[in-house]
């Protein structure tokens, strides 16, 4: 019988004998390496036998698994791995791979965890091989399902090992299928709904693991080296998710996001949102930058679908959105940026319209949306921030809509605008306040509701404050602000003040008169103080003084204001006067303001800061008939003149009034400006005589020549003694007034006639010059013509001599 068996074994095919020889007599001894080398050499020499070798190894492993001889099955799997690594370049590898995958599947189907881990490792090795010829019929449905189930393993002894093996298997499937378009599409929903939740299930413990590791490292129980070398399922799952998202194209990224959102919803992982924030940050960092906008858009659509969810869930979604939206902002330009802003504003409007009362949780949801909007705008350049603010401003309901929901929506949208405004770095006021943005903002500054006006004031403060003075000027005071920072305004800022400063100051006066609340008045004062600090100079100080006089005039003339309200307006006026005198460095103005402060401190301290609370102050003890404690317009003009500055605008202009619609900066006539300035100088000008003292500067509206300070020298005293008498001065002033009256009342033809001789004289002189030049030119031309005629009679042209036929006509 032994001889018969030997004869039968000799008749068996050679590849079977080589395969049988790799198995030892004792399974514990492992693979016979020398015989394995012979089998490998035979496979390389006869690649057509490779598929038969694989099939035979699969049959032997199946018998061993069925008979529970797991060691022999492991040897067969090891042999398959070695053959795959050695023969991966063979053209017949596809047939061998089929047997290889069938063996991997057989091992994964068994209940032995060691076989599952070994089969997974073999599959990972196979996934790392780049095949030259793709297989069109190969499917990985079983492997995706099996590896996903291993990711949820609850085996107490080998739980982490099985989960790690399952995650590695999914990583191998992803690498094997994503790079090849001809194989099965792994981006299908049936596959993604298994892969993504399996990864997220393992990542759920990642946040807790990180906190535990931080505590262990803080106590010294865990060293950084141990932490770096030990790979846990959460860490590997995060790595695989990064790889999956990084490989996703534009059309496939939603296939990943949909099961991700479904997993968070089903397991209620939005509250608390620590894991959701961590996951979406991984997605935003791993995704290709040009597709990051898709993540934000998908999350917003998910927020739309959850509009009926609890406020806590919606708040958590909005917080997640605010955490990741900044990453997408860098890649969003033009319409996509405004589209995101529009979606956020739509959610805010929906929140306001669906709730009758704003609860604390709903308010947190709205704040989260506003923070998301601010984070998004913060990562855009300044010119886009202006566009975003203008876009938000155009969505604010008009003041004509007075319903409660409209008022709430106004406040919410203005808060959003404020959030963007705080992120804007103002360089030029002309760019920060374009007319299309400034006009509706000034209309909202006159809103009848105190919260709305206060938000508008905060917007002005955020855009006006270029030197971080907002906190310094937050309280009304006549004391010096030691921490005040300032620099002279630029030419463009001065032009902006001349153009729009009056409109802003008029809106501030209207805002101050609307409410006696201390916080509302303090907010208006803060805005006015920032306006003065940023824009005041010698060219704009008169306009600001008229603004201060306007505040005082409202307190004097508007009877509907309460006594406490009027006192607070007086306090704001004197505080602004002290501030502008210190900012501009006009000592005469500061001395005058200090005199008023001292007088009020003795007689009427309620005319000074701090502001009075209407509910805590009795109006009976307030004496408002104190005209000698008011700011005097003529005194202000004298202070400016004594400081060598022009006071024409202050003396001729009227203070700002309540509800004034026109622009105060252009109310005065330029003729009055010229006449007022002419009365301050000695002139012997009449209608027909020009004097160089009346220059173009004096004829320009709003631009006047500066009076230089007098020098007390011997020559100056001598000139002072030689000045004309009072009678001569009176006669001169009457003559100047007559000149002005003539220009005002005479007809245009009469003025032309009286000024005609001077122009005729110049014209006659020019005519004489032109005539003399013309006569000289005629004499010169006549002499040249005679010379040419003589030459023509004497000499014949050379071309007529040589080619006479060419000149016949």
The tens digit of pLDDT for each residue in 698-719 reads 434 444 444 444 555 666 666 6
Q: Report residue 239's pLDDT band, with 50, 70 and 90 as the boundaries.
A: very high
Q: Which pLDDT value is given to residue 228?
A: 40
Ranges 177-181, 208-212, 373-377, 784-788, most confident: 373-377
Q: Report residue 178's pLDDT band, with 50, 70 and 90 as the boundaries.
A: confident
The tens digit of pLDDT for each residue in 108-126 reads 999 889 999 999 999 999 8
Q: Which pLDDT value is given to residue 681?
A: 41
Q: Report residue 134's pLDDT band, with 50, 70 and 90 as the boundaries.
A: low
Q: Which pLDDT value is given to residue 215?
A: 46
Q: Is residue 148 part of a domain?
A: no
Per-residue pLDDT for 756 more than 50?
yes
Domain count, the chain: 1
Chain mean position to CA 320: 18
The tens digit of pLDDT for each residue in 408-447 reads 888 889 999 999 999 888 889 999 999 999 999 999 999 9
Ranges 543-552, 664-673, 768-777, most confident: 543-552
Q: Is residue 690 part of a domain?
A: no
% of the chain exceeding 70 in pLDDT? 78
Average pLDDT over residues 556-562: 89
Q: Which of these ranges, 332-346, 609-623, 640-654, has the smallest mean pLDDT?
A: 332-346
Q: Is residue 235 part of a domain?
A: no
Q: Report residue 805's pLDDT band, with 50, 70 and 90 as the boundaries.
A: low
Q: Report residue 349's pLDDT band, with 50, 70 and 90 as the boundaries.
A: confident
Q: Which pLDDT value is given to residue 619?
A: 78
Q: Is residue 697 part of a domain?
A: no
Q: Is residue 88 part of a domain?
A: no
Nearest to 252 by CA among 335, 333, 196, 176: 196
Per-residue pLDDT for 270 more than 50?
yes
Nearest to 300 by CA among 330, 279, 328, 267: 328
Which is more confidently placed, 338 or 641?
641
The tens digit of pLDDT for each residue in 652-690 reads 888 888 776 544 444 443 333 433 444 444 333 333 333
Q: Report residue 796's pLDDT band, with 50, 70 and 90 as the boundaries.
A: low
Q: Is residue 12 part of a domain?
A: no
Decide: pTM greater than 0.75. no
Q: Which of these ranges, 7-11, 28-32, 122-126, 768-772, has the smallest mean pLDDT?
A: 7-11
Q: Is residue 598 part of a domain?
A: yes
Average pLDDT over residues 592-598: 94
Q: Which pLDDT value is given to residue 121?
A: 93
Q: Which pLDDT value is given to residue 182?
A: 52
Q: Which pLDDT value is given to residue 684?
A: 35
Q: Is residue 146 part of a domain?
A: no
Ranges 31-45, 536-550, 655-669, most confident: 536-550
Residue 528 to residues 448, 464, 596, 668, Cα–Cα distance (Å): 19, 10, 20, 24
Is 590:582 a contact under the CB 8 Å cutoff? yes
Per-residue pLDDT for 199 more than 90?
yes
Which is more confidently placed, 403 or 760?
403
State which residues form the domain around 647: 461-478+498-664
Contacts of the segment 294-298: beta carbons below 8 A, 24+ positions apart: 294/250, 294/253, 294/254, 294/257, 295/253, 295/257, 295/324, 295/328, 296/321, 296/324, 296/325, 296/328, 296/340, 297/340, 297/343, 298/254, 298/257, 298/258, 298/261
């Amino acid at each position: 019988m032994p001889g018969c068996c030997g004869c039968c074994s000799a008749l068996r095919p050679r590849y079977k004998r080589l395969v049988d020889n790799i198995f030892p007599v004792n399974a514990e001894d492992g693979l016979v390496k020398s015989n394995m080398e012979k089998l490998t050499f035979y496979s390389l020499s006869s690649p057509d036998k490779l598929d038969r070798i694989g099939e035979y190894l699969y049959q032997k492993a199946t018998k061993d698994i069925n008979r529970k001889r797991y060691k022999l099955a492991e040897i067969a799997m090891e042999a398959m791995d070695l053959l795959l690594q050695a023969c991966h370049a063979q053209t017949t590898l596809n047939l061998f791979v089929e047997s290889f995958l069938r063996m991997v599947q057989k091992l994964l189907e068994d209940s032995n965890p060691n076989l599952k881990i070994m089969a997974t490792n073999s599959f990972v090795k196979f996934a790392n091989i780049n095949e030259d010829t793709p297989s069109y019929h190969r499917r990985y449905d079983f492997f995706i399902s099996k590896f996903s189930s291993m990711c949820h393993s609850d085996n107490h002894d080998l739980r982490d090992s099985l989960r790690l093996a399952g995650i590695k298997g999914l990583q191998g499937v992803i690498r094997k299928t994503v790079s090849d378009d001809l194989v099965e599409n792994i981006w299908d929903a049936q596959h993604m709904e298994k892969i993504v939740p399996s990864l997220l299930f393992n990542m759920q413990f990642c946040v807790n693991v990180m906190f535990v590791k931080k505590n262990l490292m803080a106590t010294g129980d865990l060293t950084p080296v141990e932490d770096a070398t030990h790979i846990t399922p959460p860490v590997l799952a995060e790595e695989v998710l990064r790889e999956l998202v990084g490989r996703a194209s534009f059309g496939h990224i939603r296939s990943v996001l949909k099961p991700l959102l479904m997993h968070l919803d089903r397991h209620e992982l939005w509250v608390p949102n620590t894991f959701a924030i961590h996951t979406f940050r991984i997605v935003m960092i791993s995704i290709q930058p040009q597709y990051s906008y898709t993540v934000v858009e998908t999350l917003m659509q998910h927020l739309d679908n959850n509009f009926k969810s609890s406020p806590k869930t919606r708040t958590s979604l909005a917080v997640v959105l605010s955490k990741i939206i900044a990453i997408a902002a860098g890649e969003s330009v033009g319409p996509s940026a405004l589209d995101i802003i529009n979606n956020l504003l739509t959610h805010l409007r929906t929140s306001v319209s669906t709730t009758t009362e704003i609860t604390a949780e709903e308010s947190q949801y709205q704040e989260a949306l506003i923070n998301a909007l601010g984070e998004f705008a913060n990562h855009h350049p300044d010119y886009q921030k202006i566009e975003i603010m203008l876009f938000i401003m155009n969505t604010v309901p008009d003041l004509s809509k007075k319903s409660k929901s409209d008022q709430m929506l106004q406040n919410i949208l203005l808060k959003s605008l404020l959030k963007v405004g705080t992120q804007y770095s103002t360089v030029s006021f002309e760019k920060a306040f374009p007319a299309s943005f400034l006009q509706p903002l000034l209309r909202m500054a006159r809103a009848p509701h105190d919260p709305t006006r206060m938000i508008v004031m905060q917007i002005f403060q955020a855009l006006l404050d270029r030197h971080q003075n907002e906190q310094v000027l937050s309280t009304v005071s006549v004391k010096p602000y030691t921490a005040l920072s300032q620099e002279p305004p630029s030419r463009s800022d001065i032009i902006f003040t001349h153009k729009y400063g009056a409109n802003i100051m008029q809106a501030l006066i209207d805002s101050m008169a609307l409410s006696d609340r201390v916080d509302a008045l303090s907010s208006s004062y803060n805005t006015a103080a920032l306006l003065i600090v940023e824009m005041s100079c010698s060219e704009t100080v008169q306009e600001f003084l008229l603004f201060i006089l306007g505040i005082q005039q409202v307190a004097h003339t508007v009877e509907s204001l309460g006594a406490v309200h009027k006192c607070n307006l007086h306090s704001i006026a004197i505080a602004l006067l002290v501030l502008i005198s210190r900012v501009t460095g006009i000592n005469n103005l500061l001395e005058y303001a200090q005199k008023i402060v001292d007088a009020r401190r003795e007689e009427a301290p309620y005319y000074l800061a701090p502001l009075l609370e209407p509910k805590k102050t009795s109006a009976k003890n307030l004496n408002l008939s104190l005209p000698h404690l008011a700011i005097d317009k003529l005194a202000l003009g004298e202070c400016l003149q004594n400081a060598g500055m022009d006071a024409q605008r202050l003396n001729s202009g009227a203070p700002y009034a309540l509800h004034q619609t026109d622009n105060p900066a252009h109310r005065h006539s330029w003729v009055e400006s010229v006449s007022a300035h002419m009365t301050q100088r000695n002139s012997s000008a009449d209608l027909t005589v020009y004097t160089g003292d009346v220059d173009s500067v004096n004829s320009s509206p709003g631009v006047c020549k500066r009076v230089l300070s007098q020098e007390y020298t011997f020559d100056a005293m001598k000139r002072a003694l030689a000045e004309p008498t009072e009678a001569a001065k009176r006669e001169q002033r009457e003559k100047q007034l007559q000149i002005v009256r003539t220009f005002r009342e005479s007809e245009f033809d009469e003025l032309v006639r009286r000024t005609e001789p001077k122009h005729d004289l110049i014209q006659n002189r020019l005519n004489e010059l032109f005539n003399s030049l013309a006569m000289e030119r005629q004499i010169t031309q006549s002499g040249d013509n005679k010379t040419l005629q003589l030459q023509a009679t004497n000499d014949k042209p050379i071309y007529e001599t040589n080619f006479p036929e060419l000149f016949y006509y």
